[in-house]
Structure 1
Amino acid sequence: MIDLYVYYKVRDEDADRLAPLVCALQARVIQPGHARLLRRPESRDGMQTWMEVYPDVPESFAAELEAAVAGAGFEGLIEGPRRVEVFTEFPPCA
């Protein structure tokens, strides 16, 4: 299992339109309450940085998520690419 983090930029004026689309996507692709949508508290140059967090998902989830994003209506609401980062847990230290 992996933890998947997806971050991207959103223009301030598009945030209110995009947020419900991301929440709807998350409800479709994963058990409700299992994903999180975060944003940095500040905007820079009219841009917000958002992060979708999907903890403890199978490695195949990244491809499933990207396929779902293609039809989610995000076009024109995200500035630049969606960047995907994968993290795994270290074995227990003690």
Structure 2
Amino acid sequence: MDLYIYYRVPPAHAAALQPLLAAMQEALSREHGVSAALKRRPEEKDGRQTWMEVYQDVPAGFDDALDRALAQSGAAALIDGPRHTEIFEDVRPCA
């Protein structure tokens, strides 16, 4: 399973938010063996940037670890509004 988590960020918070998320993703990758990426849309909309965290091949229970890591990072205070999570899984070939 892969997680795609997107949310809005005020541009004034971007420089402070990026290193917090980078450190959080580094720790999650090391502790849980996931591949992580941080992305954002190139344009702003309504004075906000849209950012996305990507976590590939997440193990069972990763959601709880992610919630704890986010709380410990302090990053949530720099995000405007809720985080939206989309879950995708690989398409398995037909037999």
Q: How many residues align?
A: 93
Fraction of identical pairs, as percent: 48
Distance 1:36 1:86, change over 3 A: same
- What secondary structure does 1:63 align onto? helix
Gaps of 5+ in 1: none
Alpha-carbon RMSD across the aligned residues, in angstroms, is 1.8
AA partner of residue 79 (structure 2):
I
Kept in 1: contact 2:24–2:70 (CA 8 A): yes
**Which TM-score applies when normalising by structure 1?**
0.89
User: Using the alignment, how far apart are the partners of 1:39 and 1:17 within structure 2?
Assistant: 15
After TM superposition, the runs of 4+ consecutive aligned structure 1 residues lying more than 4 A away are: none
User: Using the alignment, how far apart are the partners of 1:35 and 1:44 within structure 2?
Assistant: 25
Structure with higher helix content: 2
Distance 1:62 1:75, change over 3 A: closer
**Which TM-score applies when normalising by structure 2?**
0.88
